[in-house]
Amino acid sequence: MKKCLTIFFLLSVLLFSFNTVTAVAPVTTVFYGETGINVEVQLMPAYQFGEERFSIIHLFNASTGYQITNATNDNITCNLHLRDSQGFEIVIVNATPHLDYWDLNGTGGGTNAIGRYAWTLVCNDNTNLVGGYRSGYFDITDNGKVEPEGLIILGFSIMLLLLLSYSVVIIVKALGHIIDKDFDLMDVAVMWGSYFALLGLGQLAGIYLGNVIINDWLDLFIKLYAFPMVIVPVIALFLSVFNMNRQAKEKAKQW
């Protein structure tokens, strides 16, 4: 009996000497990858005044990269919010769905005034409750080119002022020659050269410079200087030649 009690006691001590095993909480897997829709749209940085803007929209799954189409997701809407330079919303344009893309035909029309505009394109999958957006801005200029840096505008302004100042000096000197009736071909070449330099500057400004104020001033000076720097020198040359011939005849008679 004592032997049985001893064995039972030893077994009990041995059983309770093991560590107690605790239950482990289940592992929760959290996905931290990118979800939603990646929006790609071809909007140019600048448009010409009055030009219609036709833009194509492609959508992609942000987590897989696969293209989203109207066939795979038929409950997607895309809207473009157009704002002026002060942040006021001008119009909301609904994109037209196609088989594998959406388009913005006109993007609010081509009647927006010259200036800078901000836009935000929002696309939502109303079935899966995901979406995406893209924002940016574009300029509307008179030549469809991006407004250049301030240094370029300053450089054109300095060239214009120098050329105009030089032209004034040439015109004043030419008036003196006209009064003295000794206007010659060199004077014509100098005045024509200055005027064609002004024309060249106007062409360069129209091609590379999207600044309306400088272009307007150049057009004005080109029109104003056409008569005194192109027509008047020719008339003055003929008058000078006529005067020199008359003087030569008078001298011949004196002999």
pLDDT digits (tens, 9 = 90+) for 183-239: 888 888 888 888 898 888 888 887 777 677 777 888 888 888 888 888 888 888 888
The pLDDT of residue 86 is above 80 = yes
* pLDDT recorded at residue 31: 42
Per domain, the residue ranges of the chain are 37-141, 150-245
Share of the chain above pLDDT 70, in %: 80
pLDDT at 27: 45
Nearest to 53 by CA among 91, 103, 118, 114: 103
Classify 37-141 by CATH class.
mainly beta
Please say whether the beta carbons of 104 and 95 come within 8 A. yes
Q: What is the pLDDT of residues 146-156, one digit of tens each?
A: 777 777 778 87
pLDDT tier at 6, thresholds 50, 70, 90? low
Task: Pinpoint the alpha helices (H) of 136-231.
Answer: 150-180, 185-208, 212-226
Distance CA 160, CA 200 (A): 11
**Percent of the chain scored above 90 by pLDDT?**
6
The pLDDT of residue 8: 46
Which residues of 8-152 form beta strands (DSSP E)?
37-41, 46-48, 53-61, 67-68, 76-83, 89-94, 96-97, 102-106, 115-125, 130-141
d(CA 64, CA 37): 10
Q: How far does Cα 208 stand from its chain's mean position?
A: 13
pTM exceeds 0.85, yes or no? no
d(Cα 114, Cα 143) in Å, to the nearest integer?
Answer: 10
Average pLDDT value for residue range 72-86? 87
Residue 3 has pLDDT above 80, yes or no: no
Closest CA to 134 of 28, 238, 36, 214: 36
pLDDT digits (tens, 9 = 90+) for 161-186: 888 888 888 888 888 877 877 788 88
Taking only the tens place, the pLDDT of each residue in 53-70 is 778 899 998 888 889 888
At residue 98, the 3 state secondary structure works out as coil
